Amino acid sequence: MGLSQSISKRCADPSKYATVDAPGLAKDDTKWKTYDFVIVGGGAAGCVLAARLSENSNVSVLLLEAGNSHEGNLISSMPFTGKILGGTSFIQDFNSWAKKGAEGWSYEELRPQVQTSFVFRGHMGLRYVPNPIMPDGKEEEHGTSGPIKTRKPVPKQDIDRLMIETARNIGITARSDLNTNGTLGAAAFLATITDKGRRGYAAVSYLTPEVLKRPNLTVAVNCRVEKLLFDETGPKPRAIGVEFRRTREGPLYRVAGKKEILVCGGAVASPHILLLSGLGPRSELEKKGIKVIKHLPAVGKNFMDHISAGTFNLQAKPGTTYDYLNNPLYALLAVAQWFFTGTGVVSELAAPGAIFVRSTDDPCIPTNDPAEIPIDLTTGPNAPDLEILWFPLTVVANAMTKTSSKVKGVTLSPVALQPKSVGEITLATNSAWDQPIIDANFLDEENDMKVIVRGCRLIYKLAHTEPFASMLELNPKPDYPFFWPGCADPDKITDGELSEWVRKNASPTFHPGCSCKMGTSEDSSVVNNKLEVHGIESLRIIDASIFPNLVSGHPCAPVVAVAEKASDMIKQRYGF
């Protein structure tokens, strides 16, 4: 998950940083390779913690990542998904966490970590011209010295201006920056992009070459943690280490964590690791033959993700989209431009902007039947529950969808930000090498369908409003079937037909969370407000799985802020 290739070479031999299994070593942690902190998971949170905790040269840190390195992988460096939404867009979400018992996690208490994580570096490229439709935000409202660089891309095509102006023409506020001056409205995203036009995610931004040279920091990839290890001799079980392998049948290795074990696997892997380690619902663990260390019924429960309707494609006029990239030659030239100069279409975001509204009471959304208006599940009157993403090209729903190089179109996607449907993560087997069962339970609650259908109605209104309408060719009998239902007459297509289409095409947005949520009760939550696992000493979970509820936006900034706050709490706890 984004770790340097040099790490792979430096840590190719696990015996250099871990203890291989041997007779008599399984229960004698004094003979294991020992670190002050062992971090499980090298995603955004894990990278932040590794960098921050190793700032003290007297503190030893080991970061174990199950995935491979990103270097040499061209796609992982491209900025397609490097969009950021944070700051004031989460005021009400964070405050709702505090109201639910997460003391210390209100917006004002988390704001310092948000601002110390990012630095705004202005606009990208040479094409920037000030535009009253897309006004600039104030740089001082962003972080000024954080590791993650944010920029405002300047798209080659005009879709951002068209979308924002069209949204304004139907009554939606045009925002300069959803990170600073308002939660509701239409705006282009900031992008986490480096000075060289590369994707600036946490591994690149926090685990810089200078950080990786620290002698007290060890980072290892291709290490799959099979379970956490505990000392059960005290009043409470205490996490003391982890077991891992590099391959399913390979040697077993152990390491000890003298101070704490920090699990940062994400909303799927973190509950999976806890369950395999004996932390979770007793009945589920016993069914899989796993020794119960602590009965924690909420592990893996309350799993949620933002729900997308899929790809709502609209046929566009030639020359208005990026669909020329369907031509292999043009695509190769675009990649070459980005590779050598860090500029061009590949340096932009695949989804450069979005509209955030309230499906329950926004007058800009057409209402055919008042009974179809959803229940308000937001955290406050200024919090959105619906996002409309836009893409300046046609996006196919999956690899099985057939398209043509002649296709010209744009894709919009309605996303339910505060779903009522709740899923769970459970064990398929008692092996870490078998993926867990992910039951997202999407659209189980009818309210979620109502939100998404209202999103489809909003897209129709945008598509029939200038100036966006002039970019489109809304043929009621399209040449290609994937332009349905975008081509349909909004006055004739029913909510039932839209619901049927949504149910067939709905997909996750890969913003999962809440599966090890923070709270005060062992029955309904997994960690306390210090991110410590209930009833277990020396074990914390630090990632999106601890969210009490999903945020009404993209989770990059909140995850980084959670990790920054966790590192501050840990430093305070141990006095460094």
Which of 142, 272, 306, 554 is flagged as catalytic? 554
Residues 277 and 335 in one domain: no
Instruction: Specify the CATH number for the domain of residue 219.
Output: 3.50.50.60
State whether 164 and 296 are in the same domain. Answer: no
The residue behind tokens 């893409």 is: 391
Residue 31 has pLDDT above 70, yes or no: yes
What are the φ/ψ torsions at residue 286 (nearest 5 degrees)? -65, -35
* Residue 95 falls inside a structural domain: no
Cβ contacts of 388 within 8 Å, gap of 6 or more: 354, 355, 357, 412, 413, 414, 415, 455, 458, 459, 462
Same domain for 406 and 493, yes or no, is yes
Active-site annotation holder among 142, 306, 511, 534: 511
Last residue of a domain, one of 462, 479, 505: 505
C-alpha–C-alpha distance, residues 362 and 469, integer Å: 21
Q: Mark whether 234 and 250 lie in a shared domain.
A: yes
CB 154 within 8 A of CB 191: no
Q: What is the C-alpha to C-alpha distance for residues 539 and 351, in angstroms, rounded to an integer?
A: 37
- Is 511 considered catalytic here? yes
* Mean pLDDT value of segment 555-570: 94
Q: Report yes or no on 93 lying in a domain.
A: no
Q: Quick one: 311 and 336 in the same domain? A: yes
What is residue 342's predicted lDDT score, i.e. its pLDDT? 76
Quick: pLDDT tens for 215-240.
999 999 999 999 999 999 999 999 99
| Contact (Cβ atoms closer than 8 angstroms) between residue 20 and residue 252 | yes
Work out the percent of the chain whose per-residue pLDDT is above 90.
58
Residue 6, pLDDT > 80, answer: no
- Residue 462: inside a domain, yes or no? yes
The answer on 299 and 225 residing in a single domain is yes
Q: For the ranges 92-96, 380-384, 403-407, which has the lowest average pLDDT?
A: 403-407
Tell me the three-class secondary structure of 517-549, residue by residue. CECCCCCCCCECCCCEECCCECEEECCHHHCCC
Whether the full predicted model's pTM is greater than 0.85, yes or no, is yes
Omega before residue 237 within 30° of 0, cis? no
The whole-number pLDDT of residue 483 equals 87
Task: Say whether both 548 and 486 belong to one domain.
Answer: no
Q: Are 73 and 1 in contact (CB under 8 A)?
A: no
Which backbone phi and psi does 387 adopt, to 5 degrees? -120, 140
- Amino acid identity of 342? G
Rounded to whole angstroms, the Cα distance separating 323 from 416 reads: 27
What total of structural domains would you count in the chain? 2
* Enclosing domain of residue 57: 5-20+31-74+202-304+513-574
Decide if 122 is inside a domain. no
Q: Which residue is associated with the tokens 């203890």?
A: 19
In a domain, residue 528? The reply is yes
The dihedral formed by the CA atoms of 16, 22, 28 and 32, expressed in degrees to the nearest 10: 0
Express as a percent the part of the chain with pLDDT over 70: 84
Residue-wise pLDDT for 408-431, tens only, equals 889 999 999 999 999 999 999 999
Same domain, 189 and 206: no
- Edge-to-edge strands of the sheet including 190-191? 83-84, 190-191, 148-152, 118-123
Dist CA 153 CA 160 (whole Å): 10
- Are 210 and 318 within one domain? no
Domain membership flag for residue 279: yes
User: What are 477's two structure tokens?
Assistant: 């009998």
Q: What is the token pair recorded at 231?
A: 């000392």
Residue with the bigger pLDDT between 63 and 372: it is 63
> Which has the higher per-residue pLDDT, 265 or 401?
265
Domain ends where: 453, 475, 505?
A: 505
Which CATH number covers residue 481? 3.30.560.10
pLDDT in tens, 467-517: 999 999 887 776 667 888 999 999 999 999 999 999 999 999 999 999 999
Residue 241, C-beta contacts closer than 8 angstroms, at least 6 positions apart: 29, 32, 38, 228, 229, 254, 255, 256, 257, 261
Strand 353-357 to 33-40 pairing: unpaired
- The band of 81, judged by pLDDT with boundaries at 50, 70 and 90, is very low
Element at 190 (helix H, strand E): strand 190-191
Quick: pLDDT tens for 198-211. Answer: 766 677 889 999 99
User: Coil, helix or strand for 50?
Assistant: helix
Q: Which pLDDT does position 86 carry in this prediction?
A: 45
**Which pair of structure tokens corresponds to residue 17?**
């940083």
d(CA 280, CA 294) in angstroms, rounded, equals: 7
Amino acid of residue 119: V
Categorize the per-residue pLDDT at 80 as very low, low, confident or very high, splitting at 50, 70 and 90.
Answer: very low
Residue 306 annotated as catalytic: no
Structure tokens at 184: 């509701």
Is residue 208 annotated as involved in ligand binding? Answer: no
- Is 88 marked within a binding site? yes
Preceding amide of 467 cis, omega within 30: yes
Whether 92 is in a domain gets the answer no
Query: Are 459 and 361 in a shared domain?
Result: yes
Instruction: Decide which of 505, 522, 553 is a domain's last residue.
Output: 505
Return mean pLDDT, the chain. Answer: 86
* Segment 276-287 mean pLDDT: 98
Instruction: Count CB neighbours of 461 within 10 A.
Output: 17
320, 351: one domain? yes
Residue 231 shares a structural domain with residue 281? yes
